[in-house]
């Protein structure tokens, strides 16, 4: 992540802490991140021929009373500075840092198959107990793992995939030749 992106994300984090609304800002950043994930919306936000005032109107129309004036001002400032392209990454970094400050983390789980709601809940509870923090699961599917799953959470990596087990068996067999 670029230094400028990090600076903007940390500036928003500092503002959230100063105003005592870290949880509120976090929730609002997640709303905005979901909107920015829409490619049509995002293409307007980053389009170089859309004026800053039109982008301000777009933000007001899209978010209205869903976000506070400070977060709205942050989006407008980034657009005014001609740095709208960093908004997604700045929000991702802000969300990660704000959640960590509140004792929350996201665990990224990659599975061969879609996990059920019950499986996801059990995994969240298990990881929350193990890590001593509130854990939210972000699940994606990758059939290349063959079976099982792997988890990446706050510097920890747990690999329980069939693909990895097959690699381990292959290494043992090659070493024993």
Q: How many CB atoms lie within 10 A of CB 70?
A: 16
Percent share of the chain, pLDDT over 70: 99
Yes or no: say if 26 and 95 are a contact pair by the CB < 8 Å rule: yes
**Which domains occur in the chain, in start order?**
3-100 (1.10.520.20), 105-175 (no CATH)
For the cut 70, the answer to whether the pLDDT of residue 1 exceeds it is no
- Specify the pLDDT at position 155: 83
- Specify the pLDDT at position 58: 94
Percent share of the chain, pLDDT over 90: 66
């Amino acid at each position: 992540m670029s230094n400028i992106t990090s600076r903007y994300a940390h500036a928003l984090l500092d503002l959230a802490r100063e105003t005592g609304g870290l949880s509120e800002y976090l929730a609002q950043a997640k709303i905005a991140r979901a909107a920015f994930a829409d490619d049509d919306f995002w293409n307007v936000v980053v389009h170089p021929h859309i004026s800053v005032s039109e982008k301000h109107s777009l933000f007001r129309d899209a978010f209205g009373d869903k976000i506070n004036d400070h977060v709205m001002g942050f989006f407008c400032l980034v657009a005014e500075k001609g740095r709208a392209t960093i908004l997604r990454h700045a929000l991702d970094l802000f969300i990660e840092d704000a959640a960590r400050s509140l004792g929350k983390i996201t665990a990224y789980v990659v599975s061969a198959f879609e996990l059920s709601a019950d499986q996801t809940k059990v995994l969240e509870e298990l990881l929350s107990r193990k890590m001593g923090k509130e854990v939210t699961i972000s699940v994606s599917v990758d059939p290349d793992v063959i079976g099982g799953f792997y988890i990446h959470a706050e510097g920890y990596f747990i690999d329980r995939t069939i693909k990895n087990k097959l690699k381990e068996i292959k290494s043992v067999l090659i070493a024993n030749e």
